[in-house]
Structure 1
């Protein structure tokens, strides 16, 4: 492949996919409003120029949690000559029995496709747009309660994405991605606390109260309600299982939460 379009190139996964592809010698077009050519999800007039000459696409919806319908983009990609699409989705997104429209469009496109469905990211504990602010205060309040989650290191998602974009044996696969074991939020914070010498606590907060707090902190109502719903699902055991997608795609075990914490603690992000 000579050119790969990466959507969400500045996001948690895209920012890791881009340098990996470049290290392998591929030409990467990082999609952004300020890019050349510019790309804007809200302006379909920018899509064709960004897709021109592209052989593969890393497809990250504009709002991963909401999974907005982007079936039209898949049609445009096919018309532009794209032959492979790797889409970032969400684990458990079809728990009600339906496949989101964008995923359906990818699967039915006739292109070489792979869908990645990760669980919650380990990096969310160090992300300003998720839990970092509260971790720094010493107390994180969520609707997750004592539910368990197999947090995945985003580095593993990036490795799987690059393998699917550039390698063989991944076409037609849906990889559910998770870390190697489940943890409660209290246990995860305990691991961070041990690595940083801090006392960190997790407190239960109702979904409505959580959403209201996020909205008050300038998050959109749709995103706040979606995150609260996902966290409440953790409390009810929806995510209390380990997936084997990393092993299936890469032939190795996923990184542990302890490995992620050790590496991240060395940056000082949790001691600011």
Structure 2
């Protein structure tokens, strides 16, 4: 009998980057175990008794903390998971981290200290937040209200992040490396709204608001207050210009340019996700 090939565990495996990482690995004939609460065995960041069953028979893992590596407590959980992964025989860990966020930096250090062969993939604002996460309802309503001021951000496409992660998980030469992934240009949220307006054929405008107004807006739509407050705090932390630069990571690793926001907006609009009755999903 041929032994079963070691699997790669993909955490947040149904989320924005995770499902794309899983698909990319399967396209390379790499066996995948999806890490999510509905998977078998299930994985839940809030329940560490689910971690070891998910790690059995795993050789490598994509570590995407839910809801975000920049949220309070992420480093403690990621560090505990990384240590357990190594104890279970996992050889390679690839961590998704937020560019410029202090808690995410602590996550990075925890993975580096684990003893695994590690790669850090840093990303800023993920473009698909507009169509697969918390902003989709705002785009549908025509007003994207965020506490982001007029800062420019190198919006990063989830496809680019996932392709870099897949390369780090399957190819040599990525161990001990930090891959800082960005889009091809800096763009403000006001400019992003303009791109979405052109793509969808109706006005989508950006409205800068205070953190308190943002929290009230989210909780008024049923978002838990703790999550809304933490998300607002993260935006205040990172949308101060610290991430206002682009890198050549995508082109250097993948041999192609990163996807531009305008292309994303056209495809998202054509999919119908911003239509009034469309549904969305979230996750990393």
Give TM-score scaled by structure 2 length. 0.88
Structure 2 residue 113 is the aligned partner of structure 1 residue 105: no
Q: How many residues align?
A: 268
Which consecutive residues of structure 1, in runs of 5 or more, have no partner in the other structure? none
Alignment of 1:1-272 (within 5 A): 2-64=6-68, 65-66=70-71, 68=74, 69-70=76-77, 71-94=79-102, 99-100=105-106, 102-127=107-132, 129-233=133-237, 236-272=240-276
Give me the whole-angstrom Cα distance separating, in 2, the residues matched to 1:2 and 1:205: 48
- SS of the residue corresponding to residue 22 of structure 2 reads helix
Give me the whole-angstrom Cα distance separating, in 2, the residues matched to 1:235 and 1:30: 32
Change (3 A) 1:149 1:163: same
Change (3 A) 1:238 1:30: same
Which consecutive residues of structure 2, in runs of 5 or more, have no partner in the other structure? 277-284
Comparing 213-222 and 8-17, the one that deviates more: 213-222
- SS of the residue corresponding to residue 33 of structure 2 reads strand
- SS of the residue corresponding to residue 202 of structure 1 reads strand
Give me the whole-angstrom Cα distance separating, in 1, the residues matched to 2:237 and 2:54: 37
- Shift in Å at residue 41 of structure 1? 2.1
Give me the whole-angstrom Cα distance separating, in 1, the residues matched to 2:269 and 2:184: 20
- SS of the residue corresponding to residue 240 of structure 1 reads coil
Work out whether residues 101 and 234 of structure 2, in 8 Å CA contact, stay in contact via their aligned partners in 1.
no
Give me the whole-angstrom Cα distance separating, in 1, the residues matched to 2:46 and 2:28: 31
Give me the whole-angstrom Cα distance separating, in 2, the residues matched to 1:242 and 1:91: 12
CA RMSD, Structure 1 to Structure 2 (Å): 1.9
Change (3 A) 1:72 1:184: same
Deviations 1:133-176 (A, max 9, x none): 11111111111122111111100011011000111111111111
Change (3 A) 1:16 1:107: same
Deviations 1:208-248 (A, max 9, x none): 11122222323233332232233335653233222333234
Give me the whole-angstrom Cα distance separating, in 1, the residues matched to 2:240 and 2:218: 21
Runs of 4+ in 1 over 4 A off after TM superposition: none
- SS of the residue corresponding to residue 263 of structure 2 reads helix
